[in-house]
Amino acid sequence: MTAKTADRTRAATPVEMWHAEHARFQRLLAELQRHVDLFHSGERPDYERMIEIVDTLHEAGEASHHPREDVAFARLALRCPDLALPLARLKQEHRVIANAGGALRELLSEALDGAVLPRAQVEVAAAMYLVYYGNHIAHEEEDILNRAAESLTAEDWQAVRDAV
């Protein structure tokens, strides 16, 4: 077994998995931004791929990422009361991101179906989604993950894993 294979088979810590998911989400957001930039410059972006990205982010968030975060946030708020309000805001942002993604997806579907939409309407929806989602990830990375790694117990992390 090579060192690379051994690294892959080693169980990642919950925080490492959280970082990896965020990195994947950021790559998808960057790809979506490239399509939005094409749209802004007057070119035709790949609407199908844009919808696929929004769907992938939504499905990954709802199916596993956010349910695990919700458990981690609840446990972290008990262990670090100073984080209760920021964690509540992050949980609220999950709903905002889902709504912004839904609105963007709807506009992209209409554009794909040939509807003529004001360019600004699509750009605003895309910017809202991209900026909100990007800032959300950055906040978790900068302010929450290290505290979670330091404060949550093995029992807490097992509850996080069991959330899905």
The pLDDT value recorded for residue 9 is: 42
Tell me which residue has tokens 């994947």: 24
Percentage, residues of the chain above pLDDT 90 = 88
Q: How far is CA 68 from the centre of its chain?
A: 13
First to last CA, the chain: 31
CATH numbers and ranges of domains, the chain: 15-162 (1.20.120.520)
Residue 65 is classified by DSSP as I
Query: pTM score, two decimals?
Result: 0.89
The pLDDT value recorded for residue 157 is: 94
- Residues 28-55: pLDDT tens digits? 999 999 999 999 999 999 999 999 999 9
Q: How many CA atoms lie within 13 A of 155 on its CB side?
A: 2
The pLDDT value recorded for residue 36 is: 96
pLDDT for 4 beyond 60: no
Paired tokens of 66: 């956010």
The pLDDT value recorded for residue 6 is: 45
Count CB-CB contacts under 10 A for residue 5. Answer: 9
- Provide the Cα torsion 75, 79, 82, 84; round to 10°: 20
Closest CA to 77 of 156, 158, 161: 156
3-class state of residue 158 by DSSP: helix
